[in-house]
Structure 1
Amino acid sequence: MSSAPRMPVRLTTGVLTLCGMIVSLQQTLVIPLLPDLPRILGVSADDASWLVTATLLTGAVATPIVARMADMYGKRRMLLVSLAVMTAGSLIAAVGGGFLPLLVGRAMQGFGTALIPVGISIMRDQLPRERLAGGIALMSATLGIGGALGLPLSGVLYGAFGWTSLFWSTAAVGAVLTVLIRLAVAESPQRSPGRFDVLGALVLSVVLVGLLLVLSKGAAWGWGGPRVLVLTGVSLLFLALWIPLQLRTRAPMVDLRTAVLPPVLLTNVASYFTGFAMFLNGLVLTQELQVPAETGYGLALPVVTAGLLMVPSGLMMLVFSPVAGRMLDRWGGKPTLLFGLAVMGLTYLGRVLAPGSLANAVLGSTLVSVGTAVSFAAMPVLIMGAVPRDATASANGINSLVRSLGTSSASAVLALLFASLTVTVDGVPYPSGAGMDAALWAGVAACAAGTVVGLFIPVRGRGADPGREPAAEPGEAPAPGPADRDRRPRESTGT
């Protein structure tokens, strides 16, 4: 098979990085609007919160599906499909003028979440090995960069041009990126054989929707309430059906035999805890900056000022992405992951022990972001060093999904802690100082758990090299390739 035409490395890396940036931006742009959207749209606050939940749900469902289709039908093609759906969703939200069109548009924007794992997989196929680690580090850092910049940017756009400007802007950027991808990104010749596992995708979607609804709405519905219990039961039931279905299917939605390989499984578990600690950082800082000083730790800053003070953490992820790339080249994936988790964990511990102040809050958040940038850069390297090229996108998609589950869990845990440990100021309940300390200790625990798991990730020599096919040790079975998966005896061929 002929190789894909080689595009300029900087151009390809830049365009794919912008794709990751727009994904993280559109996820956070709507958050500052939530207090005003009930008045603007004539709905309740609970209804307005679905504008965040809808994007989370569709992103979680679309990421593994789109990533698997990228391996089968073309990575550039699915990149364009995801971007088109996200851009169309932005347009619907901008012109709809009501709650229902906005909800549909926000759900469609969730498809953009797949851009990051598919983009990283394109880098593996098209970038030279000496540039791959740096490209992966930059692409991985876009989650934090866009998240930090999205909050102040949305405030500026909203104040100057109104709420629809947030969606017009993402639609315009999506249209420009579509043109740039066609010009700067070549289609990969790598393909995974077989038919798409429709039944496996549908069953997995039920599992994910049920689980994420519990995590995102459990605090509002009541953790012991009937809706939470029913959704949990349905998710577990469909998960029990999905696992044997995947093991019997010739071309499964998720190759569980590859997913349980120690390098892949342990990296994904460590990714869950890293995603938890990363998302906790932004939630904690927001509380510290904005709640009243009477809480004992709050700084009572205006929303715009608080948003601007979150920018340094995002910029540091951008600054440290090339540093993370050099660490990957010199150390390999596992030591880089452990270093990043250590920085995050020690910073959380320092924030518990140090007296609260504006400088400590901003510096602590920035250092956690530095550790996040380093850790996130290492994860795709470890994953791609353990899976064949024809499974790159789907393996990265599952890793992104696991990280999303970690962020959703962080939100749920923090909501539980802040609801349980409160202090009342002028008749309004706020998280107490004890609640804030408990949240920071949760960050310490997540980083410690991720570090312990990371210590057991097996690597060969200096570390995994994502530019090569994974090779087996003497006496060890090689990683399964497409031909091996086709020969594997199974009872069903899927749908």
Structure 2
Amino acid sequence: MTGSAVSSRVTIGALAGVVGFLAFVEFTSGVIQGFYTPMLTDIARHLGVHDADVNWLEGTQLMLSALVVPAFAKLGDMVGHKRMLVISTAITAAASLVLPFTDSFGVFLAAWAIQGFYVVWLPLEIALIWSRSRRMEGRATITARAAGFLVAALETGAITGALVGGMLIDSLPLWIVLLVPALLVVACFFVILFGVKESPEPTGGRLDNVGLVLISLALVAFTGGLSLLRLNGPADPIAWLVTALGVLLVVPFALWELRHDDPLIDVRMFRSPALGPVFLTAGLFGVSVLGAQAPLSTFARTDPSVYGYGLGTTGFQTSLIIGVYLIAMITGALLFPLIARLTAPRLTLIGAATLVGIGFLMFLPFHDTYTQVIVNMVIVGLGSGALVAALPAAAASAAPPTQTGVATGLTNSVKTVGGAIASCVFGIALLHGATGAATEGTAGSFSGYVTVWVVCGVTALAAAILLCFVPKTAFSDRAAHGADAAEAVS
């Protein structure tokens, strides 16, 4: 056996150890995302607010995540991905430890929003793995496998979190229950600190503060305008003006970034034939993976004997639907690297987006029984799991060497923006035509649910079509090798 082969094996073994530690981080991320859902009503009672006010928790966390990812992704490329993982985990842990010990809605809301720093974990992890595997053969394949493993850990954590959270809230005081994810994040901090090695060769440089301010203002205005639209309805001119301001503020940001020597976000990546469609796909995918969760849950809970639609499921039956969906996502994430190796990463992405589209459009004729909804969600879950794993890995393999963290982070940011837009549109659609005698847990009219299914299905199929225009060898080891060679020549 040659020395280089031995060295390669040792390096891959060390990388596998890092992936194992990062899998614990993603398991913790999943627990955070699933743990609180069964106890949101208990949280509302504890804080003395109406159930509807709980929606502010999701809205503020989405807004903060859209702001955090660009800065932390860029800083990861500059000073090291592990360092930014440690900092973001420390912030998440501090916020999580506030939640059990406050009965003030304002303090709880602020801590909940700051807890959203965990959204940067997966993009930073993918960028770290891509950086650590730089000298290995089959770099893109290794990253894709790692991404699938991390997403599987994420969804396993979400299932575990939902089940454990639902079990504990029935038998323990709320403050003790809320301590569980907080302590898990604290453990996560030490796992990263002592178990993960830093990515090699950070780019250095100075953070583009002007660009950060401009994009932050744009995102705050845009997401704030969407929140106003959802609260006040589409007839509110102020909401439209604030939303439009957010869109317009992207223009000075882009012009500034084009002139900057070391931009926060290299906006030229959006013109890349490989990266542009990936970012657009992430935004279109965000419509369904982030925007459709609440409508699907409330549709299942709606009593068909009262409204003529819905399944009339109990909370436990609804959680089983969610559990099956998450298991399908795990399967899709784990199958992605295998199918990508047998076919091509681009074709696998196209197939995954197509599955999501077919699954949602199947709701149009098949939504009357529990079995029909389960089948639809399995199809959606298989495609969604593959996309969650594939998009950041694809972005890493197609990005410039100095923008790996930024590119993986952008898939998350654009996905969040797509989810925020969808959440607003779906909220308005579900309210339109809804009868006044809504039962607890009912979201809106049947026409609104049809709108959700159609929009999610069409946007997913549009993403599949966009990916057809990506170069055939994109996201593969052949493309990655070409990029590394070009970098070496330069």
Q: TM-score, normalised by structure 2?
A: 0.88
Q: CA deviation at 1:392?
A: 0.8
Give per-residue Cα distances to partners, 1:56-83, cap 9 Å, x unaligned.
1211111111010000000111011111
What residue is the counterpart of 2:178 in the other structure? 167
Distance 2:401 2:372 in 1: 44
Show the 5 A alignment for 1:468-483: 468=481, 470=483
What residue is the counterpart of 2:131 in the other structure? 125
Q: CA deviation at 1:445?
A: 0.9
1:460 partnered with 2:473: yes
What residue is the counterpart of 1:250 in the other structure? 261
Distance 1:213 1:302 in 2: 34
Distance 1:319 1:59 in 2: 27
Give per-residue Cα distances to partners, 1:284-319, cap 9 Å, x unaligned.
431232111222222222223312331111122223
Show the 5 A alignment for 1:60-459: 60-127=66-133, 128=136, 129=139, 131-141=142-152, 145-147=156-158, 150-293=161-304, 294-354=306-366, 356-423=368-435, 425=437, 430-459=443-472
Matched-pair contact (CA < 8 Å) for 1:86–1:112 = yes
Structure 1: give runs of 5+ residues left out of the alignment: 473-477, 485-495
For 2:249, what is the secondary structure of its paired residue? helix
Q: Judge which range, 30-39 or 48-57, deviates more.
A: 30-39
Give per-residue Cα distances to partners, 1:89-108, cap 9 Å, x unaligned.
00112223322321221122
Distance 2:57 2:445 in 1: 28
Q: CA deviation at 1:10?
A: 3.6
Give per-residue Cα distances to partners, 1:187-236, cap 9 Å, x unaligned.
11131242111111111111112212233442112233254134224313
For 2:274, what is the secondary structure of its paired residue? helix
Change (3 A) 1:229 1:432: closer
Q: Judge which range, 17-26 or 388-397, deviates more.
A: 17-26
Q: CA deviation at 1:24?
A: 3.9
Q: Which residue type is aligned with residue 173 of structure 1?
A: L
Distance 1:17 1:467 in 2: 24
Indicate the RMSD between aligned Cα atoms, in angstroms. 2.8
Distance 1:326 1:446 in 2: 26
Q: Which residue type is aligned with residue 180 of structure 2?
A: S
Q: CA deviation at 1:147?
A: 4.8
1:42 partnered with 2:53: no
Structure 2: give runs of 5+ residues left out of the alignment: 1-7
Give per-residue Cα distances to partners, 1:245-304, cap 9 Å, x unaligned.
111111111011233212111111011112212235533431232111222222222223
Change (3 A) 1:102 1:145: same
Matched-pair contact (CA < 8 Å) for 1:285–1:361 = no
Give per-residue Cα distances to partners, 1:17-49, cap 9 Å, x unaligned.
232333343245444444444432123556543
Change (3 A) 1:19 1:447: same
Change (3 A) 1:107 1:430: closer
Q: Judge which range, 153-162 or 59-68, deviates more.
A: 153-162
Give per-residue Cα distances to partners, 1:311-359, cap 9 Å, x unaligned.
1111222233221111222223210111101111122222212251001
Distance 2:251 2:263 in 1: 15
For 1:208, what is the secondary structure of its paired residue? helix
Q: Judge which range, 236-245 or 6-15, deviates more.
A: 6-15
Matched-pair contact (CA < 8 Å) for 2:21–2:195 = yes
Q: CA deviation at 1:157?
A: 2.9
What residue is the counterpart of 2:5 in the other structure? none
Change (3 A) 1:163 1:210: farther
Distance 2:482 2:153 in 1: 26
Distance 1:67 1:7 in 2: 26
Q: Judge which range, 240-249 or 301-310, deviates more.
A: 301-310
Change (3 A) 1:84 1:43: same
Give per-residue Cα distances to partners, 1:373-411, cap 9 Å, x unaligned.
122332223322222333111110011111111222222
Distance 1:228 1:90 in 2: 32
Q: Judge which range, 232-241 or 136-145, deviates more.
A: 136-145
Matched-pair contact (CA < 8 Å) for 2:432–2:445 = no
Matched-pair contact (CA < 8 Å) for 1:29–1:166 = no
What residue is the counterpart of 1:18 in the other structure? 24
Q: CA deviation at 1:143?
A: 5.7
Q: Which residue type is aligned with residue 261 of structure 2?
A: R
Q: TM-score, normalised by structure 1?
A: 0.87
Q: CA deviation at 1:151?
A: 4.0
Show the 5 A alignment for 1:28-39: 28-39=34-45
For 1:431, what is the secondary structure of its paired residue? coil
Matched-pair contact (CA < 8 Å) for 1:275–1:407 = yes
Distance 2:243 2:129 in 1: 37
Matched-pair contact (CA < 8 Å) for 1:155–1:304 = no
Q: CA deviation at 1:184?
A: 2.5
Q: Which residue type is aligned with residue 365 of structure 1?
A: M
Distance 2:224 2:267 in 1: 24
Q: Which residue type is aligned with residue 432 of structure 1?
A: S
Distance 2:117 2:229 in 1: 24
Matched-pair contact (CA < 8 Å) for 1:280–1:411 = yes
Matched-pair contact (CA < 8 Å) for 1:423–1:430 = no
Distance 2:479 2:153 in 1: 20
For 2:422, what is the secondary structure of its paired residue? helix
Matched-pair contact (CA < 8 Å) for 2:367–2:373 = no
Matched-pair contact (CA < 8 Å) for 1:64–1:394 = yes
